[in-house]
Amino acid sequence: MKILCISDRVESMLYGPNLTSYARGVEAVISCGDLPFDYLEYIVTFLGAPVYYVLGNHDPGPDGPEYPGGCTPLDGRVVEGEGGGVVLAGLSGSPLYSGGPNQYTERHMRRRARALSVRIRCRGLLGRPKPRIFATHSPPFGLGDEEDMAHVGFESFVDLIDRHEPSLWLHGHVHLYGPDQERVLQKGETKIVNVYGHRILDV
């Protein structure tokens, strides 16, 4: 399955007439946040593939009137991809640093992560598959994060990796400049990918 992963930066090749040729064969799109909602709506409309998303710290809050039409939220949810595709799970937000929307303390995010973990375990009791792909805005702690307050990763995300061992963990939030910054890391069986800008992956 070919997926287009996007986060943090609008890409010219995806927001114009070259979208369908550039992203030919893409079966799903996953947004890791901090993108204009009209950008997501453009992609879901003209590419024709389902778009799944979590919110970043620069996005509107989840309880407000704004949302990307035609797209499927992943925050705190387990979602089965369309057409029998992969199972996805997600958590929105960044560490609390300015009091804006979608910002959480580690303690708050840990509660949210535990609630998501309960949903996953309940699915397992019913014989339903666990998520293969997790999407978050922030990275896991120590795995592609930075040391400043706004960009340090969540320890609770590391716990989710250890507990559920997804094949793929996607995040944004940490902007990548230059060729020397690592985009892909590995923890056990889980590949962790910073999708800043965009990446096309086969899963």
152-196, pLDDT tens digit by residue? 999 999 999 999 999 999 999 999 987 667 899 999 999 999 999
> pTM for the whole thing?
0.96
Determine whether domain 2-202 maps to CATH 3.60.21.10: yes
CA angle (26 as vertex; 160, 132 as ends), nearest 5: 20
What is the C-alpha separation between 138 and 169, in angstroms, rounded? 11
50-82, pLDDT tens digit by residue? 999 999 999 999 988 999 999 999 999 999 988
Domain locations along the chain: 2-202
Query: 127: how many CB neighbours lie within 10 A of its CB?
Result: 6
3-state class (DSSP) for residue 94: strand
For the cut 90, the answer to whether the pLDDT of residue 11 exceeds it is: yes
What is the C-alpha separation between 171 and 138, in angstroms, rounded? 6
